Copies of this chain bind each other. A is one copy, B any other.
Amino acid sequence: MKRNILIIGGGGVARVVAHKCAQNNAVLGDIHIASRTLAKCQAIIESVHEKGSLQRAGTLQAHALDAMDIEATKFLIRATRSQIVINVGSPFLNMSVLAACIETGAAYLDTAIHEDPDKVCEAPPWYGNYEWKRRQACKDARVTAVLGVGFDPGVVNAYARYAMDTHFDSVESIDIIDINAGSHGRYFATNFDPEINFREFVSTAWSWEDNAWKANAMFEHRKDWDMPVTGLSTTYLTGHDELHSMSKNLGVPNIRFWMGFSDHYINVFTVLKNLGLLSEQPVRTARGQEIVPLEVIKAVLPDPASLAPDYTGKTCIGDLIKGHKNGQPQEVLIYNVCDHKTCFEEVGSQAISYTAGVPVVAAAMLIADGTWDIGEMANVEELDPVPFIALMNRMGLVTRIRDAQGDRVVEPEQEEVDTLASSQLLQYG
């Protein structure tokens, strides 16, 4: 049993995490929020109080922290007696925060893969470049570290695992489909940190095909999907975190990630990219200033958190899985639909932040009660999806399945699970 949460980050996802931790503080204990900018943490705490999100009276405190500073992070973990750290800050911080957890024994959770500010789209599998190098260190220290437990990566990994356990004997392909049919009403904006957002699309789009990595150009492959609620939705094959662990852990020959883009998004992106404005390499102005174009783009675009109040429409994210069951072809879409306005009313963030923040708090609760407290490092598809999906259903992220039998809510504790017992880690390979 673990208690007391340290949230690292001050953006839209951190806001959702704070609200959801507050709604469950009887289980989770004290809640601390730390980011470089204290005011952002204080604003989040104010919002938690305003919405009356605290389940019961308890500690809810803001801290200024540069989480690149491992010693400062260790000090804060110890000072706050935090046993679970939820890292929803910049992906540049992951390895520093993980180090602080390994050295203090706190459990570690994040929602996006580690990135090096100077590199983009490194060689696959991405987890092998950073996180997995600390797997033995986690095991030695008996530290639970669950990587990438937002929606995608995170829930979509659990969806794949759950569907494989319950609906398939063998799986041929998993297509992860991420549609945001919402509208923020601005000329152009990214839904999370533009710097991180664009880094996903500026280089090779890796896909897992016939049990091997395939390098694709961004916007090379387009596919329209008939999705629940959002309807016919245009997507493009995109590189994404979850492929880099699922390809290793699930034994599925084809895993692809498809992200929805409007023509307008692609046009703006194409202009910026072709002009060199998405580069993380500095250029020199006529006045001799050294500047990183991508940082300038980030500075002129709307702060993603500022979009939430006016956001309308829905997201639909899920896995389309094809394979066989009892010798018959089988196709299952397992997905969630989330409404921007409803999210904003509950926690003051839009659905993109909401779908990333709720799962990591669910994971924290499963670590707090021991279910997922495995004392080593894991990606989400290695963990039992049943309690995770069941818990999220109760926390506001409802899972649905669409297959030959129709479209229905998944109640995972009532379905038959074929394979392994819960809380047991899948073997790699």
Q: Mark A166-191, 1 if CB is under 8 A from B, else 0.
A: 00000000000000000000011000
A301 at the interface (CB under 8 A from B): yes
A301 contacts across to B, CB distance below 8 A: 275
Q: Closest B-chain residue to A187, C-beta based? A: B274
A292 contacts across to B, CB distance below 8 A: 285
A124 CA / B268 CA spacing, docked (Å): 34
Q: Closest B-chain residue to A271, C-beta based? A: B271
A277 at the interface (CB under 8 A from B): yes
Given A267-B271, A271-B268, check contact A286 B296 (CB 8 Å).
no
Partner of A291, one of B188, B195, B272, B289: B289
A386: min CB distance to chain B, Å: 40
A232 at the interface (CB under 8 A from B): no
Q: Closest B-chain residue to A277, C-beta based? A: B300
Q: Are A187 and B286 in contact (CB under 8 A)?
A: no
Interface size on A, residues (CB 8 A): 28
A188 CA / B272 CA spacing, docked (Å): 11
A355: min CB distance to chain B, Å: 24
Q: How many identical chains are in the complex?
A: 2
Interface centre among A277, A295, A297, A298, by most chain B C-beta atoms within 10 angstroms, is A277
Q: Are B299 and A284 in contact (CB under 8 A)?
A: yes
Q: Mark A281-309, 1 if CB is under 8 A from B, else 0.
A: 00111110101110111111100000000
Partner of A295, one of B272, B277, B286: B286
A295 CA / B300 CA spacing, docked (Å): 14
Q: Are A188 and B284 in contact (CB under 8 A)?
A: no
A212: min CB distance to chain B, Å: 33
A251 at the interface (CB under 8 A from B): no
A210: min CB distance to chain B, Å: 35
A58 at the interface (CB under 8 A from B): no
Partner of A271, one of B272, B289, B298: B272
A329 at the interface (CB under 8 A from B): no
A276 at the interface (CB under 8 A from B): yes
Given A267-B267, A291-B291, check contact A285 B296 (CB 8 Å).
yes
A300 CA / B284 CA spacing, docked (Å): 9
Q: Closest B-chain residue to A296, C-beta based? A: B296
A22: min CB distance to chain B, Å: 27
Q: Are A291 and B286 in contact (CB under 8 A)?
A: no
Q: Closest B-chain residue to A295, C-beta based? A: B285
Q: Are A275 and B285 in contact (CB under 8 A)?
A: no
A299 contacts across to B, CB distance below 8 A: 283-286, 291
A276: min CB distance to chain B, Å: 4
Q: Are A300 and B287 in contact (CB under 8 A)?
A: no
Q: Closest B-chain residue to A37, C-beta based? A: B286
A296 contacts across to B, CB distance below 8 A: 277, 283, 285, 291, 293, 296
Partner of A298, one of B188, B272, B285: B285
A120: min CB distance to chain B, Å: 17
A11: min CB distance to chain B, Å: 11
Partner of A300, one of B195, B267, B275: B275
A341: min CB distance to chain B, Å: 25
A279 contacts across to B, CB distance below 8 A: 300
Taking A276-B300, A277-B297, A277-B300 as known contacts, 11 extra A-B pairs with beta carbons closer than 8 A to each other, sorted by chain A number, are A188-B274, A195-B286, A267-B267, A275-B297, A275-B301, A277-B277, A283-B296, A285-B291, A285-B298, A287-B295, A289-B289
Chain A interfacial positions (CB closer than 8 Å to B): 187-188, 195, 267-268, 271-272, 274-277, 279, 283-287, 289, 291-293, 295-301
List, sorted by A's number, 19 A–B pairs whose CB atoms are closer than 8 Å.
A187-B275, A188-B275, A267-B267, A267-B271, A268-B271, A271-B272, A272-B275, A279-B300, A283-B299, A283-B300, A285-B291, A285-B292, A285-B295, A285-B296, A286-B295, A287-B295, A289-B295, A291-B291, A293-B300
